[in-house]
């Protein structure tokens, strides 16, 4: 058996087309959706992520502003910067690129973002609303995975989804979103004994581990849908996922490649969340 490849680049482009149409509609009403991206320090990976986010905003006609702050900025000064962005009417979404330098408390910083502008969906208010199934901004990577499954016609209700990884930004919210679509969800992590005994039960397997080629054919049930969230560099400095694609694609019914799978969806959903924030702001003003 060989798998159908879930093409995140193509699905992402399709969604971005629809988002661009919404941007045009907002512009015709005098509103340009605006995203502020805060980058603290000189982390090369963070710089690349931020540049990609800005480029993607511009490509669909959105406004984006990069706020570069020095590595040694105080937590207080960063909080003041966020507070100012919270009040700006041309900024609808605020994103703080993580990780932050050690002397800054990330939780405090994320909490300072106004829930109306929390387009990353990381603040406790956004997370709480997501848990309750209320209207909120969903965290971009798990939201992107849900869109990949939806666009690929993969049934979720009644399926057993196994998540490998329980981080706040990927694993935990991923399980929650699948649960809301009536999957039976199992979380696994580094303390899970005999991991394959769990992953082999998965109809839908989500790998969010951060270890190159960690998931092999011994983890997979034939016909499973395999979503690889991992972005890692192997020994040859090549970009690879958490899943050994060559082996696993022999068994899976559907699989995402790396690159070109989940990656393009994360930025796509960030754009969508920001446009949604601008639409909601317009609605509030009209009331
Ligand atoms: P974290 O390091 O925060 O979490 C990794 C998770 O994997 C932890 O829950 C950890 O368990 C678990 N884990 C580690 N080793 C094992 C093991 N041997 N067996 C089972 N579970 C294990 O990573 P993130 O969630 O932030 O990211 C995961 C991957 O996804 C990374 O490669 C990252 O680069 C990528 N990523 C990709 C994105 C995209 O846009 N495609 C966006 C965000 C992340 P424990 O909790 O017990 O430590």
Residue 219, domain CATH:
3.40.50.720
Residue 266: the pLDDT is 96
Cα of 215 vs centre of ligand 1, distance in Å, is 12
Residue 1: the pLDDT is 67
Place of tokens 């005999």: 194
Residue 245 and residue 182 share a domain: yes
173: which residues sit within 8 A by CB, 6+ positions away? 121, 127, 130, 138, 139, 142
Task: Decide if 173 is inside a domain.
Answer: yes
Give the number of domains in the chain. 2
Task: Decide if 95 is inside a domain.
Answer: yes
Residue 162 and residue 52 share a domain: no
List 133's β-bridge partners, or say none. none
Residue 153 and residue 91 share a domain: no
**How many Cβ atoms are within 10 Å of 248's Cβ, its own excluded?**
24
Closest C-alpha among 75, 96, 99 to residue 85? 96
The closest residue, in CA terms, to atom 16 on ligand 1 is: 190
Residue 250 and residue 168 share a domain: yes
| Tokens describing residue 198 | 């769990």
Alpha carbon 198 to chain centroid distance? 25
Alpha-carbon distance 233 to 239, whole Å?
A: 5
Cα of 61 vs centre of ligand 1, distance in Å, is 33
Cα of 174 vs centre of ligand 1, distance in Å, is 12
C-beta of residue 156 within 8 angstroms of C-beta of residue 178: yes
Residue 2: the pLDDT is 80
Q: What's the per-residue H, E or C state across the chain?
A: CCCEECCHHHHHHHHHHHHHHHHHHHHHCCCCCEEEEEEECCCHHHHHHHHHHHHHHHHCCCEEEEEEECCCCCHHHHHHHHHHHHHCCCCCEEEECCCCCCCCCHHHHHHHCCHHHCCCCCCHHHHHHHHCCCCCCCCHHHHHHHHHHHHCCCCCCCCEEEEECCCCCCHHHHHHHHHHCCCEEEEECCCCCCHHHHHCCCCEEEECCCCCCCECHHHCCCCCEEEECCCEECCCCCEECCECHHHHCCCCCEECCCCCCCHHHHHHHHHHHHHHHHHHHHHHHHC
Phi first, then psi, for residue 227 (nearest 5°) are: -110, 120
Task: Decide if 193 is inside a domain.
Answer: yes
Task: Decide if 132 is inside a domain.
Answer: no
- From 121, 189, 205, 227, the mutation candidate for ligand 1 (largest count of ligand atoms within 8 A of CB) is 189
Task: Decide if 39 is inside a domain.
Answer: yes
Residue 180 and residue 74 share a domain: no
- Per-residue pLDDT 10s for the chain (287 aa) are 689 999 999 999 999 999 999 999 999 999 999 999 999 999 999 999 999 999 999 999 999 999 999 999 999 999 999 999 999 999 999 999 999 999 999 999 999 999 999 999 999 999 999 999 999 999 999 999 999 999 999 999 999 999 999 999 999 999 999 999 999 999 999 999 999 999 999 999 999 999 999 999 999 999 999 999 999 998 999 999 999 999 999 999 999 999 999 999 999 999 999 999 999 999 999 98
| Tokens describing residue 152 | 């690929």
Residue 152 and residue 103 share a domain: no
Query: Would you say the CB of residue 168 lies under 6 angstroms from ligand 1?
Result: no
Residue 106 and residue 147 share a domain: no
Task: Decide if 181 is inside a domain.
Answer: yes
Residue 86 and residue 164 share a domain: no
Its domain, for residue 194, covers 140-263
| Tokens describing residue 44 | 């090369």
Residue 238 and residue 145 share a domain: yes
Task: Decide if 203 is inside a domain.
Answer: yes
Q: What is the pTM of this model?
A: 0.97
Terminal-to-terminal C-alpha distance of the chain: 56
Residue 254 and residue 153 share a domain: yes
Residue 25: the pLDDT is 98
Task: Decide if 268 is inside a domain.
Answer: no
Last residue of a domain, one of 115, 150, 177: 115
Residue 106: the pLDDT is 97
Residue 147 and residue 111 share a domain: no
Q: Which atom of ligand 1 lies at the shortest distance from residue 232's CA?
A: 32
Residue 210: the pLDDT is 97
Residue 153 and residue 235 share a domain: yes
- From 209, 216, 230, 231, the mutation candidate for ligand 1 (largest count of ligand atoms within 8 A of CB) is 209
Alpha-carbon distance 205 to 164, whole Å?
A: 8
């Amino acid at each position: 058996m060989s798998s159908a490849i879930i093409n995140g680049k193509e699905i992402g482009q399709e969604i971005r087309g629809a988002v661009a149409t919404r941007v045009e509609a907002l512009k015709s009403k005098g509103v340009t959706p605006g995203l502020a991206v805060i980058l603290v320090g000189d982390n090369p990976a963070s710089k690349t992520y931020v540049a990609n986010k800005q480029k993607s905003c511009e490509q669909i006609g959105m406004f984006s502003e990069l706020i570069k702050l020095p590595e040694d900025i105080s937590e207080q000064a960063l909080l003041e910067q966020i507070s100012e962005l919270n009040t700006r009417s041309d900024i609808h979404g605020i994103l703080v690129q993580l990780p932050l330098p050690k002397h800054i408390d990330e939780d405090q910083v994320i909490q300072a973002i106004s829930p109306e502008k929390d387009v990353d969906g990381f603040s406790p208010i956004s997370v709480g609303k997501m848990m309750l199934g209320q209207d909120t901004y969903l965290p971009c990577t798990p939201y992107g995975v849900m869109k990949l499954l939806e666009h690929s016609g993969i049934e979720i209700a009644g399926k057993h989804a196994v998540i490998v990884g329980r981080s706040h930004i990927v694993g935990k919210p991923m399980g929650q979103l699948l649960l809301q679509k009536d999957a039976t969800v199992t979380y696994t992590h580094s303390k899970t004994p005999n991991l394959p005994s769990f992953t082999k039960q998965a109809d839908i397997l989500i790998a969010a581990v951060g270890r190159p080629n960690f998931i092999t054919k011994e983890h997979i049930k034939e016909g499973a849908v395999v979503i690889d969230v991992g972005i890692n560099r192997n020994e040859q400095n090549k970009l690879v996922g958490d899943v050994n694609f060559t082996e696993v694609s022999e068994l899976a019914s559907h699989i995402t490649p790396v690159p070109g799978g989940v990656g393009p969806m994360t930025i796509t959903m960030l754009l969508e969340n920001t446009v949604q924030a601008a639409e909601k702001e317009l609605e509030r003003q009209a009331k």
